[in-house]
Amino acid sequence: MLKYRVSFCGFLNMWIPEMILLLFLIFFTSTNALPQGAPTSVCQTMMPFHQGGIPAQPGLSPYSIVTRQHGDKVQVSVGSSLGVRFQGFMLQGRTPAGEILGTFQTSPVTDGHTINCADHGDTVTHSDTKEKDQLDVTWVPPVGYEGPIVFNSTVAQNYNTFWVGIESPTVQVSRRSTSDNFGGDPFYAGCFDTKYCFGAPEGCVQSQNCRAAVVVTSVGGKFVFDMKADRNAAWVGVGLSQDARMGNDSVIECVKTPNGRIEAFMAWTSITPYSSIRLSNPYVGIQLLNASISGDTLYCSVERSSQTTVNDQDFDLTSNTFHVLVASGSSVEANSVGFHDLSREASAQPVSLLSYSSAVPNTPPRRPFLTTPPYFSPEPVTEASTEFDPFYDGCGDTKLCFGTPVNCDRSKNCKAVVAVTVTGDKYDFEMKADRSAAWVGVGLSDDDKMGRDSVIECVKAGNGVETYMSWTGTNPYRADRLSNPRLGIELLNASVIDGVIYCKVRRNVVTNVNGVTFNLVSDVYNILIAAGSSIRDGSVGFHDIGFLASGEARALSDTSEVGAASKLLVRLHGSLMLAAWIGTASLGILLARYYRQTWVGTTMMGKDLWFAWHRVFMVLTWSFTLVAFVLIFVELKAWSAENNPHAILGTITTILCFFQPIGAYFRPHPGTSKRSIFNWAHWLIGNTAHIIAIVTLFFAVTLTKAELPKLMDYILVAYVVVHVISHLLLSVLNCISEKSSDSRVSSFPMKDLTGSGRNSAYADQGMDAPFSTLRKIILGVYILVILLLTIALIIITALAPIETTFETILPSKSMN
Ligand SMILES: *[C@@H]1O[C@H](CO)[C@@H](O)[C@H](O)[C@H]1NC(C)=O
Ligand SMILES: *[C@@H]1O[C@H](CO)[C@@H](O)[C@H](O)[C@H]1NC(C)=O
Ligand SMILES: *[C@@H]1O[C@H](CO)[C@@H](O)[C@H](O)[C@H]1NC(C)=O
């Protein structure tokens, strides 16, 4: 036999399991799609490392990118025209060749943040996994770039379902595309975004109907003031002031001169009398770039130096802030402008003309020109009115509700929905669909696909509603009315109110449709809901408004009370597994590995203390694990459909765990030759099971069904760190104590591998190995920390989804 007499004090035997855990942790945290969004390692591929293995969805994604040019920036919106929400995203501007370019402005991004791929802030990704309807961001091209840009994105509907490489149509970015695709007066392009704009009367910039307005563009230390005034103004002026009143202000005025030209002058305002007096050098610091009169509108563009001294006052546009005054008038005098009889307005707050920011009070919302959101939003105006829709009363309670889009019955804004009420042996199907729907139908199916399903359809007919039975076929997809279209159904009530179709149909418990018997009492069915906007001759058209099939078959009398109960089993499974592997297994392993020579001579029920407790903890681990394993199968009734290694790893853990005590029971007597084989095997299986169990717990956090918050990951990481540090400390203590015992016998944890029981130098003398007090302290701390972590994890698991639970507990906290 191998003689393992070498000093096991090496890191090797002590620390292998912990090393593996640590390596896993490093791997996990570096590749796992953490809740903060995509890591920079996926810059080019944009492929989420969702546990490495999950492939992107093939085919067309329900999401698309819409772009609008806005000044020299591009407004990028990601969303779904079908109203499909998403949790995660990653978005970049690229050349068609794939080079990442430009920067995203972070301030308007509420659901995301930028990361740096090729350059600073060139990629934007989600900050959390809340459901999002739409993402709106502003992208700025790199300075001087001119050419085509494609926005490329990855959008994740949830952890397992995501699309990679969703591209926008190509956008032509020109160096200064001031007004391309810009609906509205180009004069105001860039207002509130890159330029400071102000006009009279107040608020006119948003509506682009100012009587007099100024737009300030600051480029490279130069300030260009574009001014315009309507109503046949003879002059328009802009003043920079220390206060919001006239007086001691530096004014640029554009004036129609008697000879029909337009000139720009510098002037200075005084209050006694109110006047605007031209400077002795009226061209100081300014240069007229352009001017015109078109229709009744006077326009001019004047460049002003960033620094000017006027009447001994310094005007530094780069570093100072000013109140801005605009005015216009209909008359001009010889050397000054007349009264501001057409318009006059002063900004209430001083502003910096250099870097205009939306923080300036009194400014309208950013992007005032985007009046039409590019996507249907799941919260349309109608939601307020559907909020009290009695249709949804009792959903999940007295009736089974199912609608599309997913979970719309909770938010009460389904495009198509069915509610099944069972009273005795009466099965009533109520259906309702979107305003645009011409028909709505519910199918009973033995799978989650269309084909060979029995359908009840309600169809708008004239001013009323008709109901029919039909049978679906594939190839082509269709729903054929039965030859007896009223077979087994009765229309109880129906209405079309405001275009919204509603019907209530009672269906017999047993019907035989096309040779298939449908028994609503004894059988379970997948529910299909669909609605469409068109009707063909004798059949309904395509379900263009919505179609959704329930993931699992269920009894129609089963409202979601059962759903709540089944959550209980999932929660129990999680809590028991956490108690077993974070709690008892960790303690049992620690005791067996380091405490054989502590409390020497103390026994419990005839066994050494370490062994007695090791056995207690491990029996608990074993029982918890097996119960939890059975529970999850009772709940899922099948192998988990989720594409996640949790199920397979958990099964391996359970199998290893199951055999461990059986092996231990039949262990060879100490001293026999087979004893060392047993010891190795026991150690190996136990530690393997523990490592796999911890890994499995990490994967549990990503299961959709578990609804666990990412906070779990951090607690699990904390556990691994505590666990590894404790083992390291105790290993080092053992090394030292063995050294000091003259290395007579390799003691442990493999001391038994040589065949005998307690043969350490100290145990033979009936005394503890050195540092026994320190070891006891470490054990105490370890137990305490493990206990706290286990409790925290179990609380989170039992209350999951914890966010919603807290919202229920603290209903008003989340408002505002
Ligand atoms: C967008 O991303 C997909 C996936 O990484 C890639 O195949 C495609 O070439 C990218 N398009 C551009 C323009 O970079
Ligand atoms: C002057 O203004 C007119 C009309 O606003 C414009 O078409 C023209 O390009 C401008 N010229 C310069 C040099 O900016
Ligand atoms: C029919 O439906 C309407 C509106 O949903 C309701 O007010 C009415 O009471 C129903 N009638 C019957 C007989 O159920």
Ligand 3 site, residue 493, Cβ cutoff 6 A: yes
Q: pLDDT at residue 629 above 90?
A: yes
Nearby residues of 721 by Cβ (< 8 Å), 6 or more positions away: none
Compute the C-alpha angle 709/712/718, nearest 5°. Answer: 155
pLDDT of residue 273: 77
pTM: 0.43
Q: How confident is the model at residue 440 (pLDDT cuts 50, 70, 90)?
A: very high
| Smallest CA separation from ligand 1 atom 5, residue | 45
Measured CA to CA, the distance from residue 246 to residue 641 in angstroms comes to: 73
Listed range (45-49, 136-140, 354-358) with the worst mean pLDDT = 354-358
pLDDT of residue 711: 79
Which has the higher per-residue pLDDT, 362 or 459?
459
pLDDT of residue 562: 30
pLDDT of residue 246: 85
Q: Which atom of ligand 2 is nearest to the CA of 299?
A: 5
pLDDT of residue 501: 93
Q: pLDDT at residue 658 above 70?
A: yes
Distance 492 CA to ligand 3 centre (A): 9
Distance 292 CA to ligand 2 centre (A): 8
Question: What CATH number is given for 187-370 in this structure?
Answer: 2.60.40.1210
Which has the higher per-residue pLDDT, 451 or 184?
451
Number of the ligand closest to the Cα of 390: 3
Amino acid identity, residue 17?
P
Which has the higher per-residue pLDDT, 739 or 381?
739
Residue to mutate (ligand 3; options 428, 493, 495; most atoms within 8 A of CB): 493
Q: pLDDT at residue 115 above 70?
A: yes
Q: How confident is the model at residue 2 (pLDDT cuts 50, 70, 90)?
A: very low
Ligand 2 site, residue 290, Cβ cutoff 6 A: yes
Listed range (464-478, 512-526, 591-605, 790-804) with the worst mean pLDDT = 790-804
Ligand 3 site, residue 292, Cβ cutoff 6 A: no
pLDDT of residue 16: 75
Q: Looking at residues 485-498, what average pLDDT do you find?
A: 90
| Smallest CA separation from ligand 2 atom 2, residue | 290
Cβ atoms of residues 227 and 241 within 8 Å: no
E strands within 390-525? Answer: 400-404, 416-423, 426-433, 439-445, 454-461, 464-473, 478-481, 489-497, 500-507, 510-513, 516-519
Residue 807 belongs to what H/E stretch? helix 802-809
Number of the ligand closest to the Cα of 98: 1
Distance 501 CA to ligand 3 centre (A): 13
Distance 358 CA to ligand 2 centre (A): 28
Measured CA to CA, the distance from residue 676 to residue 682 in angstroms comes to: 10
Which fold is adopted by the domain 390-549? Immunoglobulin-like (2.60.40)
Q: Looking at residues 620-630, what average pLDDT do you find?
A: 95
pLDDT of residue 520: 87
Place of tokens 């969703």: 166
Domains 55-173 and 567-803 share a fold: no
Number of the ligand closest to the Cα of 389: 3
What pLDDT, in 10s, does the model give residues 441-490? 999 998 877 888 999 999 998 878 999 999 998 777 788 999 999 999 99
Please state, in angstroms and as integers, the Cα–Cα distance from residue 281 to each residue in 81, 136, 286, following that order. 60, 49, 11
What pLDDT, in 10s, does the model give residues 509-555? 889 998 899 988 878 888 889 999 888 878 888 888 888 887 777 77
Please state, in angstroms and as integers, the Cα–Cα distance from residue 251 to each residue in 29, 72, 240, 327, 338, following that order. 60, 29, 6, 10, 14
Q: Looking at residues 571-587, what average pLDDT do you find?
A: 93
Ligand 2 site, residue 287, Cβ cutoff 6 A: no
| Smallest CA separation from ligand 2 atom 4, residue | 292
pLDDT of residue 117: 83
Measured CA to CA, the distance from residue 74 to residue 367 in angstroms comes to: 11
Cβ atoms of residues 570 and 706 within 8 Å: yes
| Smallest CA separation from ligand 1 atom 10, residue | 165
pLDDT of residue 549: 81
Q: Looking at residues 627-638, what average pLDDT do you find?
A: 82
Give the SS3 label for residue 664. helix
Nearby residues of 415 by Cβ (< 8 Å), 6 or more positions away: 83, 403, 404, 405, 408, 433, 434, 437, 531, 545, 546
Percentage with pLDDT > 70 across the chain? 80
What pLDDT, in 10s, does the model give residues 248-272? 899 999 999 888 889 999 999 987 7
Number of the ligand closest to the Cα of 56: 1
Place of tokens 């461990």: 660
Q: How confident is the model at residue 810 (pLDDT cuts 50, 70, 90)?
A: very low
What pLDDT, in 10s, does the model give residues 36-58? 556 666 788 888 755 445 677 77
pLDDT of residue 47: 80
What's the whole-number average pLDDT of the chain?
79
Nearby residues of 268 by Cβ (< 8 Å), 6 or more positions away: 248, 249, 250, 251, 276, 277, 278, 279, 310, 311
Task: Calculate the CA dihedral of residues 466, 472, 477, 479 and round it to 10 degrees.
Answer: -20
Provide the pairing of β-strand 63-70 with 500-507: unpaired
Q: How confident is the model at residue 792 (pLDDT cuts 50, 70, 90)?
A: very high
Q: Which atom of ligand 3 is nearest to the CA of 493?
A: 1
Distance 257 CA to ligand 2 centre (A): 20
Ligand 2 site, residue 335, Cβ cutoff 6 A: no
pLDDT of residue 607: 84
Which has the higher per-residue pLDDT, 563 or 741?
741
pLDDT of residue 416: 92
What pLDDT, in 10s, does the model give residues 411-435? 788 889 999 988 777 789 999 998 8
Number of the ligand closest to the Cα of 492: 3
Residue to mutate (ligand 1; options 45, 65, 90, 152; most atoms within 8 A of CB): 152
Using a 6 Å CB cutoff, which residues line ligand 1?
A: 45-46, 94, 96, 98, 150, 152, 164-165, 167
Q: How confident is the model at residue 34 (pLDDT cuts 50, 70, 90)?
A: very low
pLDDT of residue 330: 92
Ligand 3 site, residue 495, Cβ cutoff 6 A: yes
Estimate the share of the chain in helix, then strand, then coil, as percent rounded to the nearest 5.
30, 30, 40
Q: Which atom of ligand 1 is nearest to the CA of 150?
A: 13
Domain residue limits, the chain:
55-173, 187-370, 390-549, 567-803
Listed range (223-227, 300-304, 579-583, 747-751) with the worst mean pLDDT = 747-751
Q: pLDDT at residue 235 above 70?
A: yes
Q: How confident is the model at residue 9 (pLDDT cuts 50, 70, 90)?
A: low
Phi/psi zone of residue 164: left (φ > 0), alpha (ψ -120 to 50 degrees), beta? beta
Place of tokens 């209050």: 271
Q: pLDDT at residue 789 above 90?
A: yes
Domain 567-803 belongs in CATH node 1.10.1200: no
What pLDDT, in 10s, does the model give residues 724-760? 889 888 888 887 877 666 444 444 444 444 333 344 4
pLDDT of residue 749: 45
What pLDDT, in 10s, does the model give residues 762-779? 545 566 777 788 889 999
Q: Looking at residues 126-136, what average pLDDT do you find?
A: 81
Q: Looking at residues 349-363, what average pLDDT do you find?
A: 55
E strands within 575-681? Answer: 603-604, 607-608
Q: Looking at residues 635-642, what average pLDDT do you find?
A: 63
Identify the CATH class of 55-173.
Answer: mainly beta
Q: Looking at residues 338-344, what average pLDDT do you find?
A: 89
| Smallest CA separation from ligand 1 atom 8, residue | 165
Distance 332 CA to ligand 3 centre (A): 74
Distance 70 CA to ligand 2 centre (A): 20
Task: Calculate the CA dihedral of residues 40, 42, 45, 48 and round it to 10 degrees.
Answer: -130
Listed range (110-124, 200-214, 464-478, 747-761) with the worst mean pLDDT = 747-761
Number of the ligand closest to the Cα of 288: 2
Which has the higher per-residue pLDDT, 65 or 800?
65
Please state, in angstroms and as integers, the Cα–Cα distance from residue 440 to each residue in 416, 528, 556, following that order. 7, 11, 19
Measured CA to CA, the distance from residue 23 to residue 31 in angstroms comes to: 12
| Smallest CA separation from ligand 3 atom 14, residue | 493
| Smallest CA separation from ligand 3 atom 7, residue | 493
Query: Tokens for 258?
Result: 């008697």
Which has the higher per-residue pLDDT, 477 or 307?
307
What pLDDT, in 10s, does the model give residues 677-725? 888 889 889 999 999 999 999 888 766 556 677 778 889 989 999 998 8
| Smallest CA separation from ligand 1 atom 9, residue | 98
Place of tokens 């999932």: 570
Q: pLDDT at residue 332 above 80?
A: yes
Q: Which atom of ligand 3 is nearest to the CA of 390?
A: 5
Q: How confident is the model at residue 386 (pLDDT cuts 50, 70, 90)?
A: very low
| Smallest CA separation from ligand 3 atom 8, residue | 493
Q: Looking at residues 778-786, what average pLDDT do you find?
A: 94
Highest mean pLDDT pick, 341-350, 397-406, 436-445, 549-558: 436-445
Amino acid identity, residue 611?
F
Q: Which atom of ligand 3 is nearest to the CA of 497?
A: 4
